[in-house]
Chain A
Amino acid sequence: MPEPTFDELIAGMTGESSQRLAAFGGLLRGVGAEVVAEFNDFSKTLAALPGVGQSAASRIAALRADDSLPLDHRRRLEHETRDGVELVLRKTPAAAHQAIPRIRSMLEDGLLPNAARTDAGIRSLRRQEVQAAMAVQSSGTPLERARRLVGQNAAWDAELLSDYGRAIVGNDHPVLRAEAVGRWKVRTDGTEKQLASRKALAGLEKANLEGAVTAHLQAARAHLTRDDRLPPGRQP
């Protein structure tokens, strides 16, 4: 069996994750422009990563081969290039990793009911309903009472997950939100946006975006260290 070429090795590193990314991108229909924009930035960043190592490696190779410049100057330039690339390869994946929870959070926002477009009068009535439903419960903290309500009624959930709910449960609001996300993930109803977001959230788990970041970073490093792995006699 012939040994794989360098390009085949790189394709092997990033190919599968790129396919998963493309499949996940296909699920981002109807989830909102913010998610699509965030994912597009994420994909473009990852796609640019291997090229970072490749272009830096080419420049270093060109510097080594350029005998018209003094050796010290070439070494300084190579050192600068390596430093710059190392910074880029450290910070860019960090940015990509930071984008993943943002994408997840945006999809969760799309999954949960939203009262932003509801008439103020109707919202007032719904809040009274929520208050009455919480008052009926004989025991428990506000958070416990709210958690029991979550998932029963989309309109109530919309209020509980808004600033109104934040005023009721205080700093425990993220816990209430997580409870609501868990319940809405397993439901089958909702608006088009909720359905699309639910599907995309399921796809997000399969897409393994963290793995894709690592794969593209490794591809960039492989490009950067390609010539370093050559025997000393073959180095330029």
Chain B
Amino acid sequence: MKIRRSIADLIQRETPGSPGGGQSSGPPEPTNFEEAMGYLTRTREQLAHSNSELDKARREAAGYRVGAKGQLAGASRKISALLGEPVADDQEPPDIDSLIAKLDPSKHAAAIKAKDGEIRSLKLRAKLSESFHDLGLKPGITRAALIDAGHMERLQADVDKPDFDEIVSTTLEELAENMPEVRGSGTAPVRTSAPMNHSQNPTLQISHEELAGMQPEEVAAALRSGRLNSILGRS
């Protein structure tokens, strides 16, 4: 009876709107048996109502817990699938912390770098193929010459530069200028007969009269091509 009394006091103090709620003075003491019984009845009703509300709150919280657990499990399954480790519906999903650890960017730096290198390599390869065709270069020997001269590494490092196209075309044109062997494919006309050797063809040798009327540039070109051999006394 003493304990019930204490509960009744407690409920009355904490229930807003009830007589004496939140007040330190408390309800008036019953003066007779009927009043005490009435008071006890009301208290029982309030306690039952409180228990009912508490039960509802517990059920709601349990529902939230179950829902949250389901959502977490769903998220874990999706992350696992994105990481390439799908989890079947009937299997327990992996711990979210272990998945987050796997998503840590620092742990993927090497893989990202490898992919980056692959992308750069593919981009360079595509650009080179296009340029080989445009400039009429032999792909195999040109590629080998680029590697041999150390151009390939430099070009791969320049892939992201805004003037990458210009760098590639300049490099290839210079290579073709210094190494004519790389020319000869693509859309360029293909020679089907033996090449003429001007330097050994006496009919193309320049005479003294022609030499006198030639411009300096023409003389220099003739000297380089061997068409002055006759004048210079070379056999």
Residues of A within 8 A of B (CB): 28-33, 36-37, 40-41, 44-45, 48, 52, 55-56, 58-60, 62, 80-81, 83-85, 87-88, 91-92, 94-96, 98, 117, 191-193
Indicate if the CB atoms of A81 and B224 lie closer than 8 Å: no
Task: In the A-B complex, list the 9 residue pairs whose CB atoms are closest, starting with the nearest.
Answer: A59-B233, A33-B173, A95-B216, A95-B220, A84-B231, A94-B216, A191-B163, A91-B219, A91-B216
Q: How far is the CB of B143 from chain A (nearest CB, A)?
A: 18
Interface residue count on the B side (C-beta < 8 Å): 31
Query: Of residues 189 to 235 in B, which have CB atoms within 8 Å of A's CB atoms?
Result: 208, 211-212, 214-217, 219-221, 223-224, 228, 231-234
With A and B bound together, what is the CA distance between A41 and B216 in angstroms? Answer: 13
Q: Point out the residue from A56, A81, A87 that lies within 8 Å of B212, measured CB to CB.
A: A87
Q: How far is the CB of A80 from chain B (nearest CB, A)?
A: 6
Indicate if the CB atoms of B170 and A44 lie closer than 8 Å: no
Known A-B contacts A48-B224, A95-B219, A192-B167; the reply to A40 vs B178 at CB < 8 A is yes
Q: List 22 A-B contacts (CB under 8 A).
A: A29-B174, A32-B173, A33-B173, A36-B177, A41-B221, A52-B223, A52-B228, A55-B233, A58-B233, A59-B232, A59-B233, A60-B233, A81-B232, A81-B233, A83-B208, A84-B231, A88-B232, A92-B219, A92-B220, A98-B217, A192-B161, A193-B167
With A and B bound together, what is the CA distance between A83 and B49 in angstroms? Answer: 131
B8 CB within 8 Å of chain A: no
Known A-B contacts A80-B208, A84-B208, A87-B211; the reply to A36 vs B178 at CB < 8 A is yes
| Chain B residues, CB < 8 A from A117 | 165-166
Indicate if the CB atoms of B174 and A91 lie closer than 8 Å: no
With A and B bound together, what is the CA distance between A91 and B213 in angstroms? Answer: 11
